[in-house]
Amino acid sequence: MSHQQLPRRSFIKSSSVALAATTFSKYIPMRNANAKRVALIGTGWYGKSDLFRLMQVADVDVVGLCDVDAHQLQHAADMIKQRQPKQNPKLFEDYKQLLTELKPEIVLIATPDHWHTLIAIDAMQAGANLYLQKPVSADVIEGEAILATARKYNRVVQIGLQRRSTPHLVEAKQKFVDSGLLGKVHYAETCCYYHMRESGNRPVQQVPPFFNYDKWTGPAPMRAYDGLPHQRWRAFMEYGNGIMGDMGVHMFDAVRWMLGAGWPKAVSSTGGIYVDKASKSNISDTQTALFSFDDFDCAWEHRTWGTASDPEYPWSFKLYGDKGTLNCDVYKYDFIPVDGKPVHGDVLWEKEKYPEDLKEPDIELHTAPATRRHMQNFLAAIENNLRPVADIEEGHISTASCIMANLSAQIKRPLHYDSIKKIVPDDDEATALLKRKYREGYIHPQV
């Protein structure tokens, strides 16, 4: 099956919706009996954003929402009611109950990383195709289990690595990489210099009655409660894979997509907490990594302090070809040829086409067009029984590679992952770290 992006003419016809210029209620597409039954699990910031982008491009019926924060859940329900006033999604604290009662055709998963795997597997077994946020998993074997389940049940799984559907990056790939104008690429750089690591130490406090902290923690270790963890969870390795797995996976995946690369043959990394040693946050504030392929290397660097090495591209990827350099981020690209005139490209905004975006709280306007196209590609893959552009296998490779970088930094040596045997050859210590220990009461999936 093809892993390439499907042409626009293949997008399902129901993807177009009539939009008006002012209020949410005026751009509701007409519902029909063929509308896809959709559920969202994890109703925070990006979960709602993903769902609203889907609702803009397809005829869907949002039948259910799930969250362990009752306030967040109700807030999401109120916002969705504005968009589909004739239907009320049913609200759940337990995602398993949602899956059993509603049997949704599509499930969007936007929980913290440590819950991705169990929910994804259960949803696919219940009959759903998935739009799963990145990174795929919190450990390597979890990713293997999601991939195996998707293939066993023939489910379409699109990962939220929407750089592959970002209009100006698709244009850059076609104009400079695919055309040969960039030449042969032997080196790539990826980076993130955002100061996004939480500092300080919040006091331990009582869990509020509207928040089920035990269920939120799930298979992860139970930390002392120090406030609602929404978005803050990224500061702790118990729930994710640090900035490498959060921001790095986007740019590393974009490099792989641009160059058609698969698994790296080796991963090495160094880093740690070098600056902010007083904070509770236990993700690295400084890290470098090197992903080695047969004929090129891809470097990564992040710092949550100081200034960016290139202030114009603080979160980005750069491809170095023998005929030029291609610099890319979520806002723009710049192609600098060895001989010739530089070429600049900018993000597609679509503010006029989708004016309701301007009223949505906390929306990332620059990524909305990419997510809409990502959703269209996802739906087209379902309709045509094809693999989407960010298929689970591609998402797993990018996620697992970033996890391997973290493991390399932890045990201080280069690593190679054998994706067939699912081990790190000749390294029992590293192999044991491919699978995280689950909290009592939860069972880690097997492959």
Residue 16 has pLDDT above 90, yes or no: no
Closest CA to 334 of 143, 214, 216, 182: 182
Domain assignment present for 106: yes
Closest CA to 107 of 36, 34, 40: 40
Same domain, 113 and 150: yes
Q: Are 40 and 102 in contact (CB under 8 A)?
A: no
The per-residue pLDDT for 200 is: 86
Number of CB atoms found within 10 A of residue 255's CB? 24
- State the pLDDT confidence band at 3, using cuts at 50, 70 and 90: very low
Tell me what the pLDDT averaged over the chain comes to.
Answer: 93
> In whole angstroms, what is the distance from residue 114 CA to residue 126 CA?
20
- Which pair of structure tokens corresponds to residue 93? 């604290």
Exposure on the CB side of residue 147, measured as CA atoms within 13 A: 23
Same domain, 182 and 68: no
Cα dihedral 282, 284, 290, 293 sign: positive
In what order do the strands lie in the sheet containing 286-292? 266-272, 286-292, 297-303, 185-192, 315-321, 324-328, 332-337, 343-346
Domain assignment present for 121: yes
Exposure on the CB side of residue 271, measured as CA atoms within 13 A: 24
The per-residue pLDDT for 86 is: 87
- State the pLDDT confidence band at 191, using cuts at 50, 70 and 90: very high
> In whole angstroms, what is the distance from residue 34 CA to residue 32 CA?
5
- Which pair of structure tokens corresponds to residue 304? 């949550």
- State the pLDDT confidence band at 87, using cuts at 50, 70 and 90: confident
- Which CATH number goes with the domain that contains 302? 3.30.360.10
Which string of DSSP letters, residue by residue, matches 348-374? ---TTT-GGGGGSTT--TTTHHHHHHH
- State the pLDDT confidence band at 34, using cuts at 50, 70 and 90: confident
Which CA distances in Å does 64 have to 132, 212, 360? 16, 19, 21
Same domain, 176 and 159: no
Which CA distances in Å does 346 have to 191, 327, 368? 20, 12, 14
Output the pTM of the full model.
0.92
- State the pLDDT confidence band at 366, using cuts at 50, 70 and 90: very high
Task: Report the percentage of the chain scoring pLDDT > 70.
Answer: 93
Which CA distances in Å does 155 have to 135, 371, 372? 18, 20, 20
Same domain, 177 and 134: no
Domain assignment present for 149: yes
- Which CATH number goes with the domain that contains 112? 3.40.50.720
Residue 347 has pLDDT above 50, yes or no: yes
Closest CA to 316 of 303, 338, 337, 300: 300
Regarding predicted confidence, which is higher, 111 or 10?
111
Q: Dmax of the chain from CA atoms?
A: 65
- State the pLDDT confidence band at 108, using cuts at 50, 70 and 90: very high
- State the pLDDT confidence band at 184, using cuts at 50, 70 and 90: very high
> In whole angstroms, what is the distance from residue 77 CA to residue 427 CA?
49
Same domain, 194 and 327: yes
In what order do the strands lie in the sheet containing 129-132? 90-92, 60-66, 36-41, 106-109, 129-132, 157-159
Closest CA to 250 of 156, 336, 333, 328: 328
Cα dihedral 10, 13, 18, 24 sign: negative
Residue 344 has pLDDT above 80, yes or no: yes
The per-residue pLDDT for 26 is: 32
Domain assignment present for 425: no
Q: Please give the backbone phi and psi of residue 274, each rounded to the nearest 5 degrees, phi first.
A: -100, -25
Same domain, 115 and 174: no
Same domain, 328 and 380: no
Last residue of a domain, one of 347, 382, 401: 347
pLDDT tens by residue, 229-272: 999 999 999 999 999 999 999 999 999 999 999 999 999 999 99
Domain assignment present for 354: no
Q: 254 by DSSP, 3-state: which? A: helix
Number of CB atoms found within 10 A of residue 184's CB? 11
pLDDT tens by residue, 260-280: 999 999 999 999 999 999 999
Closest CA to 305 of 197, 189, 409, 232: 197
Residues found in the chain: 447
Same domain, 157 and 178: no
Residue 216 has pLDDT above 50, yes or no: yes
The per-residue pLDDT for 19 is: 26
Same domain, 327 and 186: yes
Residue 25 has pLDDT above 60, yes or no: no
**Pairing outcome for strands 332-337 and 324-328:** antiparallel
Task: Report the percentage of the chain scoring pLDDT > 90.
Answer: 91
Same domain, 106 and 142: yes
Residue 307 has pLDDT above 70, yes or no: yes
Domain assignment present for 420: no
E strands, 112-184, in order: 129-132, 157-159
Domain assignment present for 440: no
The per-residue pLDDT for 32 is: 60
The per-residue pLDDT for 33 is: 62
Number of domains in the chain: 2
Same domain, 60 and 132: yes
Same domain, 295 and 382: no
Q: Domain range spanning residue 49?
A: 8-163+367-391
Residue 2 has pLDDT above 60, yes or no: no
The per-residue pLDDT for 30 is: 41
Domain assignment present for 410: no
